[in-house]
Structure 1
């Protein structure tokens, strides 16, 4: 039962959550800063205590990015793990319904409720049984191997790098986890191929809708994005899929050495909302690229991923650590996220805007 709808970035075309029609979804830790996007309001309402769980759609980090910026849990399951019955027409090969939750336990409950066996002709590639972990048991994570690409891991702000490295070291020391040094090649190529894919699929899906609308009705940022989306050719789209297959092979080799890839969730924390962006929307490709830096493989390759809060920057803004798994590895991801949450929970801080709905007065 859905109890409400939240604000988001217009048509899911950005990562800030600034919507010129309905206002900006604001970060409860600092209302002058973005909530992230595009499932912006979904993260904000959970972070501020208005509800324990919300849903979003993750086509390029749109669940995990706002979850990390707002200090909540964001879970993007394996592609097609959650039946959506055609409700995701925008980007059908990279988009997935995802869960934003106050705790890993809440994310698990929601995942158990909405995941399922997919009634398609791909039965052979889909597990017949959904395994759900038993929490708070975390003994099973001690033999997990974590893959870390150091150059990529450190390609973020100093606050994010230091915080995520500290959290990972704590987890490793406590559980004796093995860190495997790996290389993830052609990451920029994959980012561009993913952008071309999600852009082409979005524009194709919106074609009939756009023909009925006056382009001037959209925010300036959406207009620019849609013009770019419609500029790609079918040949370019096919070449992007060749890159997808190449990246699948790269990741297959990494998952032969390790169970989970670990990284920061975003390269920066929530940045300020500019006054002029409130009227026009915003295209900030520098911060935008930093926000999506670690999200792409989860969408482009259909891999499950989870982000959990591990600390704060010097301004008190949340920082998330991300675990990326091989297909159908949600159980392992949830165990890891729960263990990480347990180690960090004593240092969690309430946001500036928080509503305790359980308080009786």
Structure 2
């Protein structure tokens, strides 16, 4: 009978909840009660879940055991619902920034972003050269300008590398779709623009690079429209129901800068998981250990950057889906403020929590790409909203000396011992080097927020597929079929209560940001875990590891806050660990400042992945 108790909670008014370090608020760990299942077990579970006789009862039990009934369904909340995390623009008076005019073209924005970059001698605070570093956008640009190499040759090496990575001996699963002919066409045009002997160049190319991104390889998650490729969302059928007829806005902006768009990266099917194991296109494997996950759902985008195939890739972050794989693969991941980057041309799988994000080899490359793709579409922007774009001037100067880092100790420490030790050590080094202070805080009801976010993203995904979901359900992976059945189990009342919790959590976070500039945490609770053979054909249900991976990502999506992850070390197996900074709305410049400061401290300790391709090598 315990399974069917109608337990509930009555939430205190926000102004009565203590957010200070001495708060007596009880930290509730993720109450995930679901065994890991793959292969025949996940098929049997799916059959029961889709059964008219057993399905409803099983879903009711699952929701009760995972505290959804107690914390959401039967909860009493006084706050009105907040359906979309749109933030009024507030000038936070960020220091050491360059403000962009929203009317500038993407190449003009990139030109101003270059002025914000440090010199090579300023990259690491101690002036030493790191033992390993990936080639950056500026490395490619300088190599092209000097004539040391051409975009044509880089493209040829890229195609050969991807072909090699796809062989049975590796099966890295980087891409769902890429076309050598289209890549070489773009590379040829870029090579002509880089030619110094301009009288040999056809007038359409003008004989001049468009920007530093001209000829730089950029990969696109297969959730974002990019011609000439279909947008599958990691499925075998969605592209037939929603043909791709144009580039997404963010892709158009990169194309305007001369970037070579090299194809559509692998992803967890429909973004409905955290592992990146896709039964249709193969598991996207981690370049640091090919037997381990790359993370999801922007798994391929993180892996190609980690492996040196591209300095930058785009992903979509609806529940940590950019930051999580970035951390697991040892690269930088930036999720901007909700609505900072136009979402036109992105699969509408989750309207109020998803955001185009950037995966990059360095903070500097994330900054350049952010400058290129950010900003409203003028014709679509309400006249009452105006957001200016600040870019951080790197490196940091002494004028940025009073950063306050909010840390919720119980939450920060709710991770593996190695993640906790590594992130705590990195934070200590950051404080010691720059003199920044930590503010001890309590973030109440974190587990409640996780459940509310899950109800929100699940309901929106289920609804977005409504017109063709049932027709194609049998074509989906077994893990996604389970997910979609659970997604459809939430009621309108539960969705609305989740939005009340969104309002409540935004008030909590606003109070914290009144006392601190950013919130700091690990990016994931665990490092990349092994890919089991039995998961590759069916997908897997591993909600325990999934909850650990997503633990620190929720507020960025549910509340529309900007967040960035930066590599800070490795576990005993040599697997990367990331540290995350969560910021105020529209304060991406502050986050990039902090990420750059953290990167500068850790840069000399970065390690080369097992799978790495040097596309600028001198043969």
CA separation in 2, counterparts of 1:124 and 1:308?
Answer: 35
Quick one: which of 216, 227, 232 aligns to 2:474? 216
Instruction: Render the CA deviation track for 1:249-288: whole Å, top value 9, x for unaligned.
Output: 0001000100100000000000000110001101101100
CA separation in 1, counterparts of 2:409 and 2:283?
Answer: 35
**In the alignment, what sits opposite 1:318?**
576
Is 1:331 the counterpart of 2:583 in the alignment?
Answer: no
**In the alignment, what sits opposite 2:488?**
230
CA gap 1:138/1:194 in 2 versus in 1, 3 angstroms: farther
Equivalence map 1:285-296=2 (5 Å): 285-296=543-554
CA gap 1:12/1:138 in 2 versus in 1, 3 angstroms: farther
**In the alignment, what sits opposite 1:304?**
562
CA gap 1:255/1:279 in 2 versus in 1, 3 angstroms: same
Report SS of the residue matched to 1:315.
Answer: coil
Is 1:95 the counterpart of 2:330 in the alignment?
Answer: no
Moved more, 286-295 or 79-88: 79-88
Equivalence map 1:155-194=2 (5 Å): 155-194=414-453
Runs (4+) of structure 1 moved beyond 6 Å? none
CA positional deviation for 1:4: 1.1
**In the alignment, what sits opposite 1:6?**
265
Equivalence map 1:198-217=2 (5 Å): 198-213=457-472, 215-217=473-475
CA separation in 2, counterparts of 1:354 and 1:84?
Answer: 32
**In the alignment, what sits opposite 2:315?**
56
Equivalence map 1:267-282=2 (5 Å): 267-282=525-540
CA separation in 2, counterparts of 1:336 and 1:216?
Answer: 46
Quick one: which of 335, 338, 342 aligns to 1:79? 338
Quick one: which of 521, 526, 534 aligns to 1:263? 521
**In the alignment, what sits opposite 2:373?**
114
CA gap 1:286/1:117 in 2 versus in 1, 3 angstroms: same
CA separation in 1, counterparts of 2:569 and 2:460?
Answer: 36
Number of corresponding residues: 359
CA separation in 2, counterparts of 1:358 and 1:166?
Answer: 34
Instruction: Render the CA deviation track for 1:81-127: whole Å, top value 9, x for unaligned.
Output: 00122524110000000000000000000000000035445444441
CA gap 1:125/1:340 in 2 versus in 1, 3 angstroms: same
Q: Which has the higher contact order (CA 8 A, sep 6+)?
A: 1
Gaps of at least 5 residues in structure 1 are: none
CA positional deviation for 1:138: 4.5
TM-score, normalising length: structure 1 = 0.97
Gaps of at least 5 residues in structure 2 are: 1-254, 256-260
Please say which structure displays the higher CA radius of gyration: 2
Report SS of the residue matched to 1:132.
Answer: strand
CA separation in 2, counterparts of 1:54 and 1:230?
Answer: 32
CA separation in 2, counterparts of 1:137 and 1:180?
Answer: 21
CA positional deviation for 1:360: 2.4
CA separation in 2, counterparts of 1:126 and 1:185?
Answer: 31
TM-score, normalising length: structure 2 = 0.57
CA gap 1:322/1:54 in 2 versus in 1, 3 angstroms: same
CA positional deviation for 1:319: 0.1
